Chains A and B, each alone.
Chain A
Amino acid sequence: MSNWLAVKAVVGRELSKVFRQRGRLISSMVRPLIWLLVIGSGVGSMLQGEQQSGYLTFLVPGIVAMTLLFAALLSALTLVYDKEFGVMRMMMIAPIEHYWIVVSKIIAATITAMVQAAMLLVILAIIGLVDVNIALLLLVPALATAICCAAIGGLIAAWSKTLDNFAVIMNFFIFPLFFLSGALYPVSQLPEYLKYIVLINPFSYGVDLMKHAVPAAESDFSIITDITVLSVFSIAAIVVACWRFSRESVHEPLFHRVTGKKG
């Protein structure tokens, strides 16, 4: 692939920044652990009998998915950061179609999210909240969820011109995506009108796919449904993000193909 070197460079730059900021990497573990150990224990204490110990196990896939969501969206933020600080121009003037920049950023966001999820699973395995085999198994649905989250991030970033704007959109999207995904409670127990929102939330299917890897966690959809929705949404979101990013910069081949416009 002729653009491989360029894609590798963009991904490499993102990953080197992630690993350079070790403090940020470690602190990214604090949020999920607080949710799991503080909120999970707190809510669990209100439940009775087996439900009490089962709630923590139920939370594990949701909290790992939350880690993926935050990590991927924050990683996609670098697309806006590069636009705002001018570094994007270094990539825009390179002899690659501009959609490769978005694809590279989404790959980098996916890897970053997976690294953080893997770190969390190691911690959870060490403190005995998850079995090692289940932790390893969780990495498979985590990858599909990470791609979906990175695609959501790419989609949002392609529409954002400044970091301020991105922050607003992050707050507008990230909490509804998380709270209305079935990560904290079974979808079947939600009021009817909220169930419809959960159904149109692509992140719900990522959380659900991860629940399939944890025997004690009750899932709401079939594995086939989860994979189909995640795949279709991720591909559609990546295509739209690439189109949008190419459209605002220059008449790109992809833009020509989609719109039939010739400059």
Chain B
Amino acid sequence: MASNFAIRTNGLTKQYGQAVAVNKLDLTIKAGQFYGLLGPNGAGKTTTIHMLTTMTSPTQGDAWIAGQSVLTDPVAIRGTVGLVFQDSALDRMMTVDENLKFAAALYKLPPKQATARIEELLTIFGLENKRHMKLVALSGGQRRAVDIARGVLHRPDVLFLDEPTIGLDLPNRRAIWRFVEQLRKEEGMTVFLTTHYLEEAEACDWVDFIQKGKLQQGGSPNTLIRGLATYILEIDCADTEAVYHKLSADFGQPIWEDNHLSFRVIDNKVDFSQLQKSLGNAVNSLQWRKPNLNDVYLWTVCPPQTGAVV
């Protein structure tokens, strides 16, 4: 298997009893790419990561990381990947320094090299003065930063980030993404991301949506967003059924949430002010905006269903 791809999977499947967590996944991710796998809870994102990092074995199929198979070279693969788990894998009763030195030794880094690398990463993450503090004394954002530092200590070829910013506030999330961006720039590593915060995935080179273990739509975020619609029309309705019947013929099926309808508008010449006037009292408010990856996610993973709207 040629290793110009950082990650490649062929029919990768994971079954737990009768339940299929990941179903015949075929992925190709180029070296250096920033890749996002997006989907709802239980879609198979974490299971995919665990198979790719040899934390669990596939039921069927195979995957290659930098040309090495997860079936035959699990130990070698673990040396070339970094994995930041959804929740911290660090020992909360040990200091930052002890945790990182422990992780470095597990990656067989010679002590001198480990010390220099820890120094470097703590400087990037602004944690130099927290070095001798126990993990339990750090903030959630700082703990997450140490987790990421642990994941990249050995300069992996591929870094897996499994919902790395979950539970963090906005400033901490932004800080984490600055660190990841800096690491990507400086070390050129391939990044495989799963996240619920889809606006974070807009920085990806490529994203795939996954649902019930099956890959859905995929593409570059910009292409997906442009392909979805020119505008998203959001209407807060007084008479939802009237608005639905009037607009669905022109704009297709909306997403219907209580008395709120969201339509995709492909035509960029729609006069929204005129449209609002024509709907009269059936509308409480009408807004239009540019689409984003959240909209792609909603229409791709949770497409509007005719049965649900009438």
**Which of A10, A86, A253 has a CB less than 8 Å from the CB of B89?**
A86
Quote the shortest CB–CB distance from A114 to chain B (angstroms).
23
Contact of B107 with A86 in the complex, beta carbons under 8 Å? no
Q: Which residue of A lies closest to B57 (CB)?
A: A251
Q: How far is the CA of A252 from the CA of B70 in the complex (A)?
A: 11
Residues of A near any B CB (own CB < 8 A):
2-3, 5-6, 8-10, 12-13, 16-17, 85-87, 89-97, 249-253, 262-263
A86 and B105: CB pair below 8 A? no
Which residues of B in the span 49-106 have a Cβ within 8 Å of any Cβ on A?
53-58, 62, 70-72, 74-76, 78-79, 81, 83, 85, 87-94, 98, 101-103, 105-106
Q: Are A8 and B55 closer than 8 Å at their CB atoms?
A: no
Counting chain A CB atoms within 10 Å of each CB, the highest count among B98, B102, B150 belongs to: B102
- Give the CA-CA distance A262 to B78 in the complex, in Å: 18
Q: Contact between A91 and B71 (Cβ–Cβ < 8 Å)?
A: no
Q: Which of chain B's residues have a CB closer than 8 A to the CB of A250?
A: 54-57, 74
Residues B71 and A86 in contact, CB atoms below 8 Å apart? no
Contact of A95 among B58, B90, B93, B108 (CB under 8 A): B108
Residues of B with C-beta under 8 A to A90: 89-91, 102-103, 106, 150
Closest CB-CB distance, A257 to chain B, in whole Å? 13
Q: Are B83 and A2 in contact (CB under 8 A)?
A: no
Contacts of B76 in A (CB 8 A): 95
The 8 Å CB contact of B55, one of A16, A17, A97, A249, is A249
Q: Are A89 and B57 in contact (CB under 8 A)?
A: no
CB distance from A172 to the nearest CB of B (A): 29
How many angstroms from the CA of A206 to the CA of B92 in the assembled complex? 37
User: What are 6 pairs between A and B in contact, CB < 8 Å?
Assistant: A5-B109, A10-B106, A13-B98, A16-B98, A96-B78, A252-B74
On chain A, the residues within 8 Å of B94 by CB distance are 13
Q: Is the CB of B55 within 8 A of A13?
A: no
B53 touches A93 (CB 8 A): yes
Residues of B contacting A253 with CB < 8 Å?
74-75
- CA A242 – CA B71 in complex, angstroms? 19
Supplied contacts A89-B55, A251-B71, A253-B74, 7 more A-B pairs, CB within 8 Å: A3-B108, A16-B98, A86-B87, A93-B55, A93-B89, A96-B106, A97-B75
Which residue of the partner chain A has the closest CB to B85? A89
Contact B55 A87 (CB under 8 A): no
User: Which residue of B is nearest A7, CB measured?
Assistant: B105
Chain A residues with Cβ below 8 Å from B81 are: 93
Q: Looking at the complex, which one of B55, B72, B88, B98 makes contact with A92 (CB distance below 8 Å)?
A: B55
A251 in contact with B74 (CB, 8 Å): yes
Interface centre among A6, A90, A249, A251 (most CB of B within 10 A): A90
B154, closest chain A residue (CB): A95
Tell me the nearest residue of chain A to B70, going by C-beta. Answer: A263
Cα distance, A262 to B60, chains bound together (Å): 11
Give min CB distance, A11 to chain B, whole Å.
10
The CA-CA distance from A263 to B13 in the complex, in Å, is 12
Q: Contact at B74–A93, with CB atoms within 8 Å?
A: no
Q: Nearest 4 pairs between A and B by C-beta?
A: A9-B105, A95-B79, A94-B106, A263-B71
A6/B105 in contact, CB under 8 A:
yes
Q: Which residue of A lies closest to B53 (CB)?
A: A93
Q: Which residue of A lies closest to B50 (CB)?
A: A250
CA distance A249 to B57 in the complex (A): 8
Task: Report B121-156 residues with CB < 8 Å from chain A CB.
Answer: 150
The interface centre, meaning the residue of A6, A85, A93, A262 with most chain B CB atoms within 10 A of its CB, is A93
Contact of B150 with A95 in the complex, beta carbons under 8 Å = no
Shortest Cβ distance from residue B105 to the other chain A in the assembled complex, whole angstroms: 3
Residues of B within 8 A of A12 (CB): 105
For the complex formed, measure the closest distance between the CB of B206 and the CB atoms of chain A, giving whole angstroms: 25
* Given A2-B108, A6-B108, A93-B53: A13 and B78 interface contact (C-beta under 8 Å): no
Q: Determine whether the beta carbon of A5 is less than 8 Å from that of B105.
A: yes
Which residues of the partner chain A approach B74 to less than 8 Å between Cβ atoms? 250-253
Instruction: List A contacts of B62 (CB < 8 A).
Output: 263
In Å, the complex CA distance between A16 and B71 comes to 36
CB nearest to A4 among chain B residues: B108
- Collect the chain A residues with CB atoms within 8 Å of residue B92's CB: 85
Contacts A89-B55, A90-B150, A95-B78 known; A262 to B71 CB distance under 8 Å? yes
CA distance A183 to B77 in the complex (A): 49
A-chain residues with CB within 8 Å of residue B83 when the two chains form the complex: 93
Contact A94 B78 (CB under 8 A): yes
Chain B residues near A96: list those with CB within 8 A: 75, 78, 106
* CB-CB nearest in chain A for B105: A9
Please indicate the chain B residues that have their CB under 8 angstroms from the CB of A2 in the complex.
Answer: 108
Given the contacts A6-B106, A93-B83, A86 and B88 also touching, CB distance less than 8 Å:
yes
Closest B residue by C-beta to A255: B57
B75 touches A95 (CB 8 A): yes
Q: How far is the CA of A35 from the CA of B79 in the complex (A)?
A: 49
Contact B85 A86 (CB under 8 A): yes
A49 to chain B, nearest CB (A): 53
- With a cutoff of 8 Å between Cβ atoms, the chain B residues found around residue A16 in the complex are 98
In the complex, residue of chain B having the shortest beta-carbon distance to the beta carbon of A90:
B89
Q: Give, as a whole number of angstroms, the nearest-CB distance from B78 to chain A.
A: 4
Give chain B nearest CB distance to A75 CB in angstroms: 16
Most chain A CB inside 10 Å of its own CB: which residue of B58, B70, B83, B107: B107
